[in-house]
Amino acid sequence: MPAPLPPDTIVYAHGDFRPLAQASYALEERGVLFADGVYEVVRYDRGKPFALKPHADRLANSLDGIDLPGLDADEVADLSNELVKRAGHDHCKVYWQVTRGDLGPRDFLIQTPTDFKPNLTLIAYPTPPLQRDATALPPSGGAIIVEDCRWTKCWIKSLMLQPASLAKTAAHKAGAVEAIFEREKPGTTESHITEGSSTNVFIVRDGQLLTHPNDGWVLPGITRDVLLDAAQNELGLPFAEQTFTAADLKAADEVFVCSTTQLTAITSVHGQPIGDGQPGPITTAVNKAYTERILAD
């Protein structure tokens, strides 16, 4: 379990930079009462953000998706950069959270005042430095498959994370590193793999990368897009954005998951080995290409 941040850690809250000990939420904050907000996570290596503009653009889309006005996502990116400087972290992940704030007594009806400003919170969490290592394999572990019982607007990076948290916890109890969601979508008669509890999912079949289409049923992952671009333009790998089943996943030559802070090889599903039970050559090549992009000057 990660160590808690010291109380003197500099964060952004209540409109300025301040120690963590001086940041708090009102009891009737809508982010607390209704999970009424959205978030992003941006990685920094050597003090430099990776894919900062795509994260800001996705934040703007999420804000539009829940009709939360009053915030410029590009300004959030600038504040994120300033926080990293003030916190003195060369390597970290910065959590961005935007909530609708305290609008008075708890009410399902959203009544936004004319002078409304949302609550913005930024927290920088230190991370280990990323290293170049031509012989290194990506981190790996097992996965389980669980029902995707989340809401249907998965393209919004919402604070409503209880289903994902429960799924991740179930995976941990099973000795796995990720829970992979499976869902029967309206208008279909077949269940498909969508994404992980905090990741996008890729399979490798006959040398081709497959991942679920960016059709609203998965989060449009920034790392997902980077990996698809690297696979095509640097590795020359064929890929397709198409649905696949749990059976396809279990029969794949390789499986891996990715998010802002990780690419992890999935070497088994419910204890059944994927391939030879080790990170595969395509997963390893994609991971190296991703690392090189992050570390590029």
* pLDDT, position 183: 97
Q: Within 88-221, where are the H helices?
A: 162-173
Residues 3-58: tens digit of each pLDDT: 899 999 999 999 999 999 999 989 999 999 999 999 999 999 999 999 999 999 99
Strands 48-49 and 254-259: unpaired
* pLDDT, position 297: 62
Same domain, 151 and 120: no
Half-sphere exposure (Cβ direction) of 22: Cα atoms closer than 13 Å: 12
Same domain, 90 and 60: yes
| Listed residues 102, 126, 150: the one ending a domain | 126
Q: State how many domains the chain has.
A: 2
Tell me which residue range forms the domain holding 56: 10-126
Is the full-model pTM beyond 0.75?
A: yes
Residue 4 lies in a domain: no
Residues 216-234: tens digit of each pLDDT: 999 999 999 999 999 999 9
pLDDT band at 132 (very low <50, low <70, confident <90, very high): confident
CATH number of the structural domain spanning residue 268: 3.20.10.10
Same domain, 271 and 197: yes
| Listed residues 97, 126, 155: the one ending a domain | 126
- 165-190: average pLDDT: 95
CATH number of the structural domain spanning residue 31: 3.30.470.10
Question: Which residues does the annotation mark as catalytic?
Answer: 39, 157, 195, 219
More confident position, 281 or 115: 281
Same domain, 100 and 146: no
| Listed residues 126, 148, 166: the one ending a domain | 126
34 contacts 99 by C-beta, under 8 angstroms: no
Residue 20 lies in a domain: yes
- The label of the residue with tokens 């749990």 reads 246
Same domain, 146 and 289: yes
* pLDDT, position 180: 98
Same domain, 148 and 239: yes
Same domain, 122 and 144: no
Residue 166 has which token pair? 């429960």
Measured CA to CA, the distance from residue 168 to residue 250 in angstroms comes to 19
